[in-house]
Amino acid sequence: MSAQPDGLQPEPMIWRDNRNLHFSGIVYHALFADCSTQAGSCGYQILKGKNSKACNMMPRYHLQKKEREIHDRNELLRIIKAGKYLTIALCRNNEPYIVTLSYGYDERKNAFYFHSRLRGLKSEFIRENPSVCATIIEDRGYIMNDCAHEFRSVIIRGKIYFVEAMEEKKYGMDILLEHLEDNPDKIRQESLSNDLVYRNLAMLRLDVNDIQGKWGR
């Protein structure tokens, strides 16, 4: 787990509102101030009393139609648990790239796990810039004669990393299989019976900094 930011007291929460920041599974109450002239990649600084610390998180953008934001944590979890894939936006040197991946969500760690190839364009982007934005969409269908589409969506911001430790690779694959499969033991027995399989695949973990939900039509 990352070191606790100086002067900030953790609370047992994993979902943030406008005044909460998520750091490696712990939320810290904080005040936001513009620090565009100071060091810090996101233009914000965490302030509390005399202590201050530059923030590496992406800023949180508010919806124009605030009444459409989904605040209920249980509703957000339902969308995540019902989904099977998400689309991740990547960027390196001002070059954008998107990729769609099946996922498993670990509620305890507030992280998503994915499996992938060891090499490829996606891997290159992630190694150069792990900061990502992703979305899960619950499609509720087009509304005929109303020129509207009903949906609920989740926007996820965070950082994505390659899992190196064998035990976490196995743990991440278990999370993914439990999320996707009706009979995960069958896959484990037929395709994941030895460590060589895990050595030849990449496991990715997206550590969530922020989750924001929206409904629309």
Residue 34: give the domain boundaries.
10-54
pLDDT, tens only, 170-209 = 999 999 999 999 898 888 888 887 888 899 999 999 999 9
Residue 1 lies in a domain: no
Encode pLDDT of 68-104 as tens digits: 688 889 999 999 999 999 999 999 999 999 999 999 9
The C-alpha angle with vertex 111 and arms to 70 and 66, in degrees rounded to 5, equals: 15
Please check whether residues 85 and 124 belong to one and the same domain. Answer: yes
Judge whether 21 lies within some domain: yes
Residue holding tokens 């498993």? 104
Q: What is the reported pTM?
A: 0.69
Question: What is the side-by-side strand order in the sheet with 10-11?
Answer: 10-11, 26-29, 20-23
The total number of structural domains in the chain stands at 2
The values of phi and psi at residue 182, to 5°, are -75, -30
